[in-house]
Chains A and B, each alone.
Chain A
Amino acid sequence: EVQLLESGGGLVQPGGALRLACAASGFTFSGYAMTWVRQAPGKGLHWVSSISGSGSSTYYAASVKGRFTISRDNSKNTLYLQLNGLTADDTAVYFCAKSVAVAGKRLDSWGQGTLVTVSS
């Protein structure tokens, strides 16, 4: 059974930084692209970033490019998202999601999410 467990969320001041992690189990982690999707309180789903199975290819939404960095450690079956230069607009639940292929964009399994709150 695929399991994705996010961690690292919390309260951070504007301009601050945070590192999210997503621990994966139940599948061959390196064989699948992974994605971060966020959801602001009461709002819809918004794609943030994706990374290929090997980690060699990364993709970012325009709103986070240059501030967020996606990475993965396939030896630890863990996906990361480094969040820098945070603003109130980054307040959201951040979900990690598994793709169906090594470089795929179709998402089939999601974690429960971790809440990031940016406030002074």
Chain B
Amino acid sequence: DIQMTQSPSSLSASVGDTVTITCRASQGITNSLAWFQQRPGKAPKSLIFAASILQSGVPSNFSGSGSGTDFTLTISSLQPEDFATYYCQQYSSYPITFGQGTRLEIK
């Protein structure tokens, strides 16, 4: 199974800040990497797929990069609605696996 390791597990930031979340795969997954945002009590929302392609309707302050085993999600100019939990997910092979999540909190 491909293990996905996210860091940090939690993060405090202020409105207007830029933050970066990293996700490392235990083996190469080319660019088969997606990022999701989840607000409390809600379903996950797709943000990015193919490591760097923004899902339609996602604000441009979100960006993704990486290939192979190392990936990053960057959120610039943080808005109040961006404070949520973020998950990476590999879809290179079954079993599909997720990172453990990064909780982004308001400082």
Contacts and interface: CB of A to CB of B under 8 A. Distances in A.
Q: Is the interface of A mostly helix, strand, loop or mixed?
A: strand
A107 to B, nearest CB: 7
A106 B101 contact: no
A61 B95 contact: yes
B49 A108 contact: yes
Q: Which secondary structure characterizes the binding site on chain B? A: loop
Interface residues of A, number: 23
Contacts of A46: 98
Nearest to A60: B95
Interface residues of B, number: 24
Interface in A27-65: 35, 37, 44-47, 50, 59, 61-62
Contacts of B16: none
A45 B101 contact: yes
Interface stretch (B19-27, B64-72, B86-94): B86-94
Given A59-B94, A108-B49, A108-B55, A44 B87 contact: yes
